Amino acid sequence: MLGMLQLPAPLRRGDRIGVTSPPAGVEGVSAERIEFCVRWLREAGFRPAPGIQDRPAHVAGKLGELR
């Protein structure tokens, strides 16, 4: 037997929760959904820590090099 599965402690009010999004950023409905979730977490008593990118169309490299 490899060992017992150990679960983390349940989340409690006041706990910090990281919220991420795709590295290219989000716009429109996707951004609204993330904002809704962050707001919901805050209203539920958690401390959301969003890491949302606000750079639409960000790419790794020059656009002219992409084919």
Q: What is the pLDDT of residues 4-61, one digit of tens each?
A: 888 989 999 999 998 876 666 778 888 888 889 999 999 999 999 877 555 555 555 5
CA distance 30 to 21: 9
The pairing of strands 47-51 and 16-20 is parallel
Q: What angle do CA 58, 23, 31 make, to 5 degrees?
A: 95
DSSP 4: -
32 inside domain: yes
10 inside domain: no
Q: How many domains is the chain partitioned into structurally?
A: 1
Domain that holds residue 39: 16-57
1 inside domain: no
Tokens coding 16: 């910090």
24 inside domain: yes
Q: 64 or 11, which is more confident? A: 11
CA distance 20 to 56: 15
4 inside domain: no
For residue 2, pLDDT over 70 is answered with no
62 inside domain: no
65 inside domain: no
48 inside domain: yes
The one-letter code for the residue type at 40 is: W
